[in-house]
Chain A
Amino acid sequence: MTTLYWEEEIETLPRVGLESVQLTRLKHLVARVYATVAPYRAKMDAAGVKPGDIKTLADLQKLPFTVKDDLRDNYPFGLFTVPMDQVVRVHASSGTTGKPTVVGYTKKDIETWSGVMARALTCAGATSRDMIHNAYGYGLFTGGLGAHYGVERLGATVIPVSGGNTKRQITIMQDFRSSVLLSTPSYALNLADAMVELGVDCKALALRVGIFGAEPWSENMRSEVERKLNIRAVDIYGLSEVMGPGVAMQCLETDRGMHIFEDHFLPEIIDPDTGEVLPPGEKGELVFTTLTKEAFPLIRYRTKDISRLIHEPCACGRTMVRMEKVTGRTDDMLIIRGVNVFPSQVEHVLMGTEGVEPHYQIVVNREGNLDTMAVRVEVSEALFSDEVKTLEKLTRKIQSDIKDMLGVTCKVQLVEPRTIQRSEGKAQRVIDNRKM
């Protein structure tokens, strides 16, 4: 291995040094946010805390949390701390009810992001000599462009292939000699199956390692991907609110956990019910404070992802704490083929469809390697017609509205009234049959 670290000094800094960097940055961040963003100032004033109260890292706990609703309430740019002429890029992810969550980046933010992404790629053993096949979606989603800039920073060659057109992807892998794959784990399995169908031997490819994220995946799935593609499969973590991909990354020395790039993203684990910070090593909700972001910093952002922090030193020599693979959510968010889906978004679409009663159920399955989502809708009298074409037109309309709003293709099934299970008077909205 030629390059073990991207930024060796900071990545292997003794904890005391790292914490001192974090504290300096935290103080600066809190002062800046308090001075520039009215909603943050109002929340801090309400909590009776001033920037000067932050004297140690433990004082972070005095600060109020930021939640997704805060982002929605200040849609689209209300939480940005710099004038728009300094914002060079925006990304967006799906919100819980219609409006997306918008994030912004200054030129320096893009540099920071590219840097942590280059670190992440290096964690997976990638170097400037690699041909990196980036099958994350390009667009408002942070995955594609976030990884892209990281590859360029690393000095490797990026193939901006984005998602879809599997056959062409395989041809490119063969002809361009792709050595590193970036995609969702389910898409990697999809590629593997397509190779079998096309008679392509994965052992004849140059592929060496896959960096997988953007959706939950199990250890079983990891071994399946590794076996089917004859590669090493590693985990990456990120979310658009905090930055995008490159918040945390697994190294090649361990299968247990991802190093959080703590000089930029300060993690906490809290009890999701009480908001109390949990003792080291306990499982709870992951909370991030962005220490260096300019345009859209976040203080104590509740990710709703369930994880735990691993404080034991890692064989790779990095001193940065690891987070365990996300094992669940504190809310009802589903991830369907890499896209965040909230049942409330589906409900929003249905409520906007004339004659549709709010009795619905989302059924998620994994068919082959692909997640499928079906929306079961009870047929009310107002909706019912004796003509097949009218009912089919209705299901197509709901399907296309959901696709427009959520970006996910689903199947709409009309069902008889009162057939959706109700427990204690409340319908069970989601049935997730995926085994993860």
Chain B
Amino acid sequence: MRVEQIAVFLENKSGRLAEITATLAENDINIRALSVADTADFGILRLIVNDVEKAKRVLKANGFTVGGTNVIAVVVDDRSGGLASVLKSIEKADLNVEYMYAFVNKSGENAVLIFRFDEMDKAIAALVQDGFRLLSGEQVCAL
């Protein structure tokens, strides 16, 4: 149960994020979730979109360096302690989070947590065993 995420290399200069989102907009690609990891010298934009292949194609055509990675999307109730319960399960399984980001689906209903682990299969097994609900790419886009 994995979700395909695309990542785009960003040099730290003004206007790059705007160019990426404009490119996606022109091609009718909807962004479901995103996060930016930044350092002093560069950034990495991570995106979950409704059409991964098309997004990769149009971004590459516009000269961006694009990569693809699998991540895990976990649904939790939108209440205090939602994230904490997932992290507890992860800690118990002795897993390392490479990075994560989250978005609230509909306020008061549920939230989606996006995770990248160095050991993805082990993470999926641990989370499923503890009763968490994982989403597929289609499900994330259909939210």
Q: Mark B43-74, 1 if CB is under 8 A from A, else 0.
A: 01010000000000000000111110100000
Question: Cα distance A165–B7 when bound, in Å?
Answer: 44
15 more CB-based (< 8 A) A-B contacts, given A387-B44, A395-B41: A379-B65, A381-B65, A385-B67, A386-B44, A386-B46, A387-B99, A387-B116, A388-B37, A388-B39, A391-B39, A413-B41, A414-B9, A416-B64, A416-B65, A417-B64
Check A417 against B42 for contact (C-beta < 8 Å).
no
Count of residues in B whose CB is under 8 Å from the partner chain? 21
Give residues 379-436 of A contacting B (CB, 8 Å). 379-381, 384-388, 391-392, 395, 413-419
Interface majority SS (helix, strand, loop, mixed), chain B:
strand
Check A416 against B11 for contact (C-beta < 8 Å).
yes
Q: Please tell me which one of the listed residues B5, B16, B39, B42 contacts residue A386 in the complex, with CB atoms under 8 A apart.
A: B5
Check A392 against B5 for contact (C-beta < 8 Å).
no
Contacts A386-B5, A387-B99, A391-B44; A415 near B67 (Cβ below 8 A):
no
Question: Cα distance A388–B69 when bound, in Å?
Answer: 14
Q: Please tell me which one of the listed residues A388, A395, A413, A415 contacts residue B44 in the complex, with CB atoms under 8 A apart.
A: A388
| A179 smallest CB distance to B (angstroms) | 44
Contacts A391-B42, A416-B11, A419-B11; A386 near B65 (Cβ below 8 A):
no
Closest to A392 in B: B39
Closest to B44 in A: A386
Check B67 against A381 for contact (C-beta < 8 Å).
yes
**Chain A residues engaging chain B, CB cutoff 8 angstroms:** 379-381, 384-388, 391-392, 395, 413-419
Closest to B98 in A: A387
Give residues 71-103 of B contacting A (CB, 8 Å). 98-99
Question: Cα distance A391–B11 when bound, in Å?
Answer: 13
Closest to A419 in B: B11
| B95 smallest CB distance to A (angstroms) | 15
A-chain residues with CB within 8 Å of residue B63 when the two chains form the complex: 416-418
Check B44 against A381 for contact (C-beta < 8 Å).
no
Question: 25 pairs across A/B with beta carbons < 8 Å?
Answer: A379-B9, A381-B65, A381-B67, A384-B66, A385-B67, A386-B46, A386-B67, A387-B44, A387-B99, A388-B37, A388-B99, A391-B39, A391-B42, A391-B44, A395-B41, A413-B42, A414-B41, A414-B42, A416-B16, A416-B63, A416-B64, A417-B63, A417-B64, A417-B65, A419-B11
Q: Report which residue of A385, A414, A416 has the largest number of chain B beta carbons within 10 angstroms of its beta carbon.
A: A416
Check A416 against B98 for contact (C-beta < 8 Å).
no
B-chain residues with CB within 8 Å of residue A379 when the two chains form the complex: 9, 65
B-chain residues with CB within 8 Å of residue A391 when the two chains form the complex: 39, 42, 44
| B15 smallest CB distance to A (angstroms) | 12
| A378 smallest CB distance to B (angstroms) | 8
Question: Cα distance A386–B63 when bound, in Å?
Answer: 17
Question: Cα distance A392–B42 when bound, in Å?
Answer: 10
A-chain residues with CB within 8 Å of residue B99 when the two chains form the complex: 387-388
Question: Cα distance A388–B38 when bound, in Å?
Answer: 8
Question: Cα distance A380–B16 when bound, in Å?
Answer: 17
Question: Cα distance A418–B62 when bound, in Å?
Answer: 11
Q: Please tell me which one of the listed residues B11, B41, B66, B98 contacts residue A381 in the complex, with CB atoms under 8 A apart.
A: B66
| A361 smallest CB distance to B (angstroms) | 13
Question: Cα distance A379–B42 when bound, in Å?
Answer: 11
| B120 smallest CB distance to A (angstroms) | 13
| B121 smallest CB distance to A (angstroms) | 18
A-chain residues with CB within 8 Å of residue B42 when the two chains form the complex: 391, 413-414
A-chain residues with CB within 8 Å of residue B98 when the two chains form the complex: 387
